[in-house]
Chain A
């Protein structure tokens, strides 16, 4: 969607046009929620953050200036709200780290796949916040390096560094699992 047509859709949404509002929500909400969920590791908190981000969007729309794409703006708000929540909960999270499933080897292939995914999810969840954000935006959400850097408000070089560190950590953590499954 071009900047012009997006700006016109936002103007219509701001003036109360229900179809323009619904189009914006259906286009952007699932990815915003997925990012919040990946960052916060909690369904209810991700839902709150997504709702709060859209509330801010509705308020910002009457004065909207098409300097950035709506998607970039919205995901930046989501990410900053996630950082705020993580900062507030950090002590609790550190005192009580979430339980991780230790995948015990079982013969069933489906179970094995589920365990692999659980192991990967746990490894992603354990990444530092900014690495997790970079990986979520680029590797999981398929955003370009430029857009991901804009959302995270970092340089492209910084984003690349975060991505490289995230992938290196995942490779190290997942190696035993991969080797175990390769040995079988």
Chain B
């Protein structure tokens, strides 16, 4: 299932609350968490990560992965947490509103 416009940032930020991880881990986490319903394409994922980094929501640093390869690790910053909190609330309100519309009267 394709992602809804504007939800990728939220998902990535949420993934990173588990601790520093690289892009692949983040995408796996989203995949597993949604039971494979949401599939994140790689290109948009990295666009999102870099955008978040520029905005100061995450910091990226090269490190060594569990299998000994060079990988870029992303970590949530204070600002990222704040952003997650507000987007989380926005999304819940939005989703709630959509549910209420769909609910049989």
Indicate, yes or no, whether A interacts with B: no
